[in-house]
């Protein structure tokens, strides 16, 4: 954590909390972007229509190319950790679609008059370290001198057409599994204010640099019907994308949702991000919550996750088997957090325990 300067002090936001609010993004994608496409592309299997994690193009036969890009401003002060987190987050989109990554291109913007050259090298080295762990090269990239530091990747992957998993193909009766605990945004807010312990920082780095490669394995299972990853819109926002895309309701069990160890205490103490409030304002009309839902819990449910876990919709009969496989792959806090039901596309919060 020791750094000669505060990397986060050079940016107005950090991590996936930098994302545009869901309501703003919906307005943008519903307008000029769609109108600019003069004709349908039959081989474009996944585009912007459901807010999925990546674009997918079908080649000859049953092979598909998956393309994504993700970048953001620093969420931590250590340059190498920043690079590692950003790379893990970008590669996650490929896994969330059921694919295997092939290669990455680096995206870098830095204020060269404010950041030492050695720190920039550390950012790039952190990203390359995660790419090596994922078994892919950083094959190139692009860099600019920018007012605020930005780093991320464009990632290319592949999958067979039958292994492609979208966020819009869940089925009524499916169980919903979350593979990582939530609370990264709360931890980042505490870090910026000097209130995150060394143990808390270690917890934050451990979860944000854990690859979601289990997604590629789950996509081989016919009983896994839909997947997405949980990032800047928070658990509620990304669950709502699944509900809307699948035209189903999702019931989330508040008692089953896993949190990072210090997340509740930090949220109770007010360490929350502005993105959490923006998220709630964007989609609260589609959330049915208990009247006594405490504010700290609402903040965690909308907490922007940087390099968060996967949401997996699967047949209920196989849910426990998949959960065991996910835990065996190192996601020890994974849990079955809800169920998909017939009904209007909304999130219903309950507490069964």
Q: What is the 3-state secondary structure (H, E, C) of 76-105?
A: CCCHHHHHHHHHHHHHHHHHHCCCEEEEEE
Give the full edge-to-edge strand order of the sheet including 55-58. 44-46, 55-58, 63-72, 150-160, 100-110, 138-145
pTM exceeding 0.85: yes
Residue 49 pLDDT: 82
Using alpha carbons only, give the angle 317, 320, 322 rounded to the nearest 5 degrees: 95
User: How far apart, in Å, are the Cα atoms of 110 and each of 15, 69, 74, 229?
Assistant: 15, 18, 11, 27
Residue 153's pLDDT band (boundaries 50, 70, 90)? very high
Which CATH entry fits the domain spanning 175-350: 3.30.360.10, 3.90.650.10, 3.40.718.10, 3.40.190.10?
3.90.650.10
Residues 11-163, CATH architecture: 2-Layer Sandwich (3.30)
- Greater pLDDT, 259 or 60: 259
Residue 131 pLDDT: 98
Residue 3 pLDDT: 45
Instruction: Please tell me which residue in 16, 18, 64, 314 is annotated as part of the active site.
Output: 16
The residue extents of the domains of the chain are 11-163, 175-350
Q: How far apart are CA 321 and CA 158, in angstroms?
A: 26
- Reference 334, options 214, 221, 240; nearest CA is 214
As a whole number, the mean pLDDT across the chain is 91
Range 60-64 average pLDDT: 92
Q: How far apart are CA 313 and CA 309, in angstroms?
A: 13
Residue 167 pLDDT: 96
User: Which residues partner with 122 through β-bridges?
Assistant: none
Q: Is the dihedral of CA 26, 192, 228, 174 positive or negative?
A: negative
Q: For residue 292, is pLDDT > 60?
A: yes
| Active site annotation includes 64 | no
Residue 33 pLDDT: 46
Residue 302 pLDDT: 97
In our burial notation (b when 16+ CB lie closer than 10 A, e otherwise), range 200-233 reads bbebbbebbbbbbbbbbbbbebebbbbbbbbbbb
Residue 6 pLDDT: 73
Q: Is the dihedral of CA 96, 101, 106, 107 positive or negative?
A: negative
Residue 60's pLDDT band (boundaries 50, 70, 90)? confident
Q: What is the CA radius of gyration of the chain?
A: 19
For residue range 33-54, what is the model confidence (pLDDT) as tens digits? 444 455 578 899 998 888 888 9
Question: Percent of the chain at pLDDT above 70?
Answer: 89
Please check whether the two domains, 11-163 and 175-350, share a CATH topology.
Answer: no
Residue 24's pLDDT band (boundaries 50, 70, 90)? low
User: Which residues partner with 229 through β-bridges?
Assistant: 310
Kindly give, in sequence order, each residue whose CB lies less than 8 Å from that of residue 149, ignoring residues fewer than 6 positions away.
7, 10, 11, 73, 74, 82, 109, 110, 111, 115, 123
Q: For residue 97, is pLDDT > 50?
A: yes
Which letter does DSSP use for residue 346 in this model? -
For residue range 168-225, what is the model confidence (pLDDT) as tens digits? 999 999 999 999 999 999 999 999 999 999 999 999 999 999 999 999 999 999 999 9
Q: For residue 234, is pLDDT > 50?
A: yes
């Amino acid at each position: 954590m020791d750094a000669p300067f505060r990397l986060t002090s050079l940016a107005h936001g950090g991590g996936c909390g930098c994302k545009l609010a869901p309501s703003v993004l919906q307005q943008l994608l519903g307008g000029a972007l769609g109108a600019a496409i003069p004709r349908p592309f039959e081989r474009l299997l996944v585009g912007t229509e459901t807010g999925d994690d990546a674009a997918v193009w079908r080649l000859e036969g049953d092979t598909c190319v998956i393309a994504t890009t993700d970048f953001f401003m620093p969420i931590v002060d250590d340059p190498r950790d920043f690079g590692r987190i950003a790379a893990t987050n970008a590669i996650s989109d490929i896994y969330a679609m059921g694919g295997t990554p092939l290669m990455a291109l680096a995206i870098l913007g830095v204020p060269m008059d404010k950041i030492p050259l050695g720190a920039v090298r550390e950012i790039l080295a952190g990203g390359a370290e995660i790419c090596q762990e994922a078994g892919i090269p950083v094959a190139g990239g692009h860099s600019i001198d920018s007012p605020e530091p930005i780093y991320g990747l464009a990632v290319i992957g592949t999958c067979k057409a039958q292994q492609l998993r979208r966020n819009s193909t869940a089925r009524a009766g499916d169980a919903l599994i979350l593979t990582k605990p939530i609370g990264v945004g709360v931890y980042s807010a505490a870090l910026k204010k000097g209130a995150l312990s060394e143990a808390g920082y270690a917890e934050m780095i451990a979860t944000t640099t854990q690859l979601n490669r289990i997604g590629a394995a789950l996509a081989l299972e016919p009983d896994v019907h839909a997947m997405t990853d949980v990032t800047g819109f928070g658990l509620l926002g990304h669950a709502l994308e699944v509900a809307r895309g699948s035209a189903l309701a999702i019931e989330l069990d508040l008692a089953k949702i896993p949190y990072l160890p210090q997340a509740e205490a930090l949220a109770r103490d007010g360490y929350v991000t502005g993105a959490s409030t923006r998220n709630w304002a964007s989609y609260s009309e589609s959330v049915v919550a208990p009247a006594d839902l405490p504010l700290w819990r609402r903040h965690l449910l909308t907490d922007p996750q940087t390099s968060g876990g996967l949401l997996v919709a699967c047949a209920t009969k196989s849910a426990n088997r998949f959960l065991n496989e996910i835990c065996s792959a190192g996601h020890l806090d994974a849990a079955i957090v809800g169920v998909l039901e017939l009904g209007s596309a909304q999130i219903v919060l309950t507490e069964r325990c």
